[in-house]
Structure 1
Amino acid sequence: MSFSKRNINVTSRTVIFTLVAMLITLFIAPQFSAHAESYGAFYVEANLPENQYDPNVGYFDLMMEPNMKQTISFDVINQGDQPMRASINFQNGTTTLNAEKSYIHEETPDVSMKHPMTTMAVLRTQEVIIPANQRSTIAIDVTAPSVAFDGVSVGGFSVTADTIEIQADTSKKAKGEIQIESRTTYLIALQIRMNETKVEKNLNYIKSGAEVVDLKPQFVSTLQNDRAVVMNDISINGTVTPEGSDQPIARIQKQVGGILPNTQFPIAYPVQSQKLEPGTYVIDLEIKSGEEVWHWQEVHTVEPDTADAVNDGSVIAKQTNWMLVLVVGLLLIIVILLVIILYMRYRQQRERRNA
């Protein structure tokens, strides 16, 4: 076999090997990803005080008097066989997208909130190392306002647990370096009331708009709970319809939600076409909480500049089909390699004819 023919065979095998490797990378490799197993060998437990209003719940529900001061606590229990670091955060209760209660978002209190929980409760510690199979008690100092308020004020503690591994290297030990391996979080609420006066529920429609939510173009209604009352069992039914039409182009339906006291929150309606068009729309929204029902109809105009800005900020509206790009690139490489092989065979045949 001549050197030229051996070179052709080697080149062919190289091309085949390259193509197989590329196919494996393209279709198999993306299925694998690194994932750290969550550390779940801990839990939190509230030490309910004597002035607990509802003893049947696992969170703090305190009945307090004006100027009353007390210290409450909860335990973080490490059930695992390795030490863990617990980080504790405390925030006012907020209501997030589509009526979800939250105790982890730091937001400016709504103007209707007269007694934010963060003005009444103070954490004594925000971080603690807990050895394996032990517990640590987290203390909170609580001071009630000088004047009693109706309704409730709500906040929450988030406890984030990291497994820890002290570095073996002596110099790193001296620096106290800690390597975070995995993480999980528990929440525990704190609710304060000062009387049993019933507060009537109320919701206000603040404004309409269009923006990018969860990387998609969506219409948005901003609502406000301006009362110191928790609303449970929230259901939402809303549509957005072009003016003069009876076919909605965006919709929100939700059966279970919750709204915390004195908060503002957005209701988002995903655009079905995944692209926002300028024009005038009618927003129809109904929210129920128990026997209470609120219904609004709002007319909202989306200007061309707003539609362009929302669509440009949307990943869906402008996303690149990377799989298509990879396939086209792979085909282009195949074509180039085949052209090289055919050219080398043509040159080999010409050399034979001239020999």
Structure 2
Amino acid sequence: MTKYIKSIIVIMSIMIMYVLGTEAVSAEEMSFSVEAQLPENQRDKSKTYFDLRVSPGTKEELKVEIKNNKDEEITVQIQANTAITNDNGVIDYGEAKPKLDKSLETPFASIAKVEPELILAPNEKKIVTIPVEIPKESFDGIILGGLYFTQKETDKGAKTDAGMQIENKFAYVVGVRLSENDESVESNLELLDVAAGQRNYRNVVVATLQNPMPRILGQMTVNAEVFAENDRKTALYTTKQENLNMAPNSNFGYGIKMANKAFKPGKYILKMVVEADGKSWPFERAFEITADEAKKFNDEAVDLVEEPNDYLMYIIIGGIILVVIIIGLISWMVYQKRKREAELKRKANKKRKRKNKSNGTKKKKPIE
């Protein structure tokens, strides 16, 4: 249940402001506030996040003002995170140690250095400086990441039934977008894998999509269908989602919902069409769900919909057929027996009639 609890904590207990494309959260709602100090090489001064034009081999200094909005001392934790795509098809800046896509050459977290903690007196303001080492080799496209700020809690939250401590945290993310030129990077999309999986203890077919290019792939529409290998006309499961976004050089597992149905071992076909950036990517991939995988996920799944047991149905049908055969066989045997008895009776009657006739027609000797 740990994974399930973590999901609840992320959704309900952590308030995150994504500065890239989101509305600002007022300082009064947060224990602290942050504000990016935009440098001269900021491409658009109207943005509230860092969108910098950089040069190979240079060093950038990102300055962020942090203000304590409380009348007590607080400690702010700071992370420099690489942008990834989470399983909801959303660009995520909050993961400290995510699993990175193999196409990503320069993770933002590897070139930005931060002090992990900052102590602020009551109502104090401080400016923190985060040095960023730009790669010596020139690059096209963008490097995308975020500066992630959370308050360090001193009072632990209540423990759950499983003994896990839940902390209420407030967080800010200041996005960082680095580019060296305006060269257009052509969009692309790959399907890496298809397999059985779970999301929040519910069975899904997971199709792993990859954006291998150093650019954001946005406003994606995904249509997916799953078929049995021996019936490619009738879709077993279908799903459609719109407005998904992928970070540069990232991948994520797109979940095809199964309406809380149990996995069945067998061979299947995924058919998927993804539309974005004025392009369309059709994919078709065969995959198999083994008996061990089906049992494992079905045992862990919650709220499974009860379906008719095919094996029980076959047993019932087989039993009915067997009963019909037995009844038919018994009926045939009874019929044959009666037929033999009737034949024997007919022969006996015929023999008796011949005997009676023979006795009744015997001639008497004449009287001399």
1:116 aligns with 2:107: yes
Taking a change above 3 Å as real, the CA distance of residues 230 and 204 of structure 1, as seen in their structure-2 partners, is: same
Which one of the candidate residues 149, 155, 161 is aligned to 1:159?
149
The alignment of Structure 1 onto Structure 2 pairs a total of residues equal to 270
Taking a change above 3 Å as real, the CA distance of residues 253 and 77 of structure 1, as seen in their structure-2 partners, is: farther
> d(CA) in 1 for partners of 2:53 and 2:228?
50
Q: Which residue of structure 2 lines up, in the alignment, with residue 78 of structure 1?
A: 68
Q: Which residue of structure 2 lines up, in the alignment, with residue 107 of structure 1?
A: 98
Alpha-carbon displacement from aligned partner over 1:273-305 (angstroms, at most 9, x marks no partner): 421112222212222223122121222222222
Q: Which residue of structure 2 lines up, in the alignment, with residue 285 of structure 1?
A: 272
> d(CA) in 1 for partners of 2:233 and 2:244?
28
Check conservation: 1:241, 1:282, Cα contact below 8 A.
yes
RMSD of equivalent CA atoms: 2.5
Alpha-carbon displacement from aligned partner over 1:95-154 (angstroms, at most 9, x marks no partner): 11142111122224322112221222111x211122232222221101111121000011
Alignment map for 1:93-104 (pairs within 5 Å): 93-104=83-94
Which one of the candidate residues 199, 206, 226 is aligned to 2:185?
199
Question: Structure 1 stretch 294-303 or stretch 218-227: which is displaced more?
Answer: 294-303
Q: Which residue of structure 2 lines up, in the alignment, with residue 265 of structure 1?
A: 252
Structure 1 position 245, deviation (Å):
5.4
Check conservation: 1:162, 1:181, Cα contact below 8 A.
no
Q: Normalising by structure 1, what TM-score?
A: 0.70
SS at match of 1:284: strand
Check conservation: 2:80, 2:108, Cα contact below 8 A.
no
Taking a change above 3 Å as real, the CA distance of residues 307 and 198 of structure 1, as seen in their structure-2 partners, is: same
Check conservation: 2:14, 2:171, Cα contact below 8 A.
no
Q: Which residue of structure 1 lines up, in the alignment, with residue 262 of structure 2?
A: 275
Consecutive unaligned residues in structure 1, runs of 5 or more: 1-34, 166-179, 319-355
Q: Which residue of structure 2 lines up, in the alignment, with residue 7 of structure 1?
A: none
Check conservation: 2:89, 2:252, Cα contact below 8 A.
yes
Check conservation: 1:157, 1:188, Cα contact below 8 A.
yes
Structure 1 position 261, deviation (Å):
0.7
> d(CA) in 1 for partners of 2:126 and 2:236?
53
Question: Structure 1 stretch 212-221 or stretch 297-306: which is displaced more?
Answer: 297-306
Matched residue type, 1:136: K
Alignment map for 1:324-335 (pairs within 5 Å): none
Structure 1 position 155, deviation (Å):
1.2
Check conservation: 1:82, 1:163, Cα contact below 8 A.
no
SS at match of 2:171: strand
Q: Which residue of structure 2 lines up, in the alignment, with residue 42 of structure 1?
A: 32
1:190 aligns with 2:181: no
Consecutive unaligned residues in structure 2, runs of 5 or more: 1-11, 16-28, 156-165, 306-368
Which one of the candidate residues 139, 143, 147 is aligned to 2:137?
147
> d(CA) in 1 for partners of 2:132 and 2:224?
41
Alpha-carbon displacement from aligned partner over 1:228-247 (angstroms, at most 9, x marks no partner): 01112222221222231544
Q: Which residue of structure 2 lines up, in the alignment, with residue 295 of structure 1?
A: 282
Matched residue type, 2:61: T
Instruction: Show structure 1 runs of 4+ deviating over 6 A.
Output: 35-39
Which one of the candidate residues 49, 53, 70 is aligned to 2:43?
53
